[in-house]
Amino acid sequence: KGRRNQRGKNRGCVLTEIHLNVTDLDLGYETKEELIFRYCSGSCDAAETTYDKILKNLTKKKKLVTDKVRQACCRPTAFDDDLSFLDDNLVYHILKKHSAKRCGCV
């Protein structure tokens, strides 16, 4: 299941979700609670802005000194609501900005 990027191009960059145990996150918590983790994945190959287009063209022509110019990446543009859970020692924890809500090529 995933949601399409609304902006037309870069249809490959989508929100995907996976059902996990909190312990699967490897953040050091001991708990039996679970969560839905949403992440952004997919290609951002179709250049989205003129800036990206220029970078691509200049890279092709080898006009840039630095060989590694960053292309647009499929990343969260907004995060999901906070997640709270009770650990095995009866202590509450809250995770912030842990899961994506919307994705975009940025």
Partner 1 sequence: EPVLTKGNNCLDAAKACNLNDTCKRFRSAYITPCTSSTSNEICNKRKCHKALRLFFDKVPPKHSYGMLFCSCRDVACTERRRQTIVPVCSYEDREKPNCLNLQEICKKNYICRSRLADFFTNCQPESRSVSSCLKENYADCLLAYSGLIGTVMTPNYIDSNSLSVAPWCDCSNSGNDREECLKFLNFFQDNICLKNAIQAFGNGTDVNVW
Contact positions vs partner 1 (CB under 8 A): 19, 30-36, 81-90, 92, 94
Nearer to partner 1, 32 or 53 (CB): 32
**Min separation Cβ 26 and partner 1, Å:** 18
**Min separation Cβ 94 and partner 1, Å:** 6
Q: How far apart are CA 6 and CA 58, in angstroms?
A: 28
Q: Give the residues across from 39 on adjacent strands.
A: 16
Nearer to partner 1, 66 or 89 (CB): 89
Between vectors from CA 30 to CA 89 and to CA 17, what angle results, nearest 5°?
135
**Min separation Cβ 74 and partner 1, Å:** 23
Residues in the chain: 106
Nearer to partner 1, 65 or 90 (CB): 90
Nearer to partner 1, 33 or 45 (CB): 33
Question: Is the CB of residue 15 less than 8 Å from the CB of residue 40?
Answer: yes
Q: Which residues does 88 contact at the CB level (< 8 Å), separation at least 6?
A: 30, 31, 32
**Min separation Cβ 99 and partner 1, Å:** 10
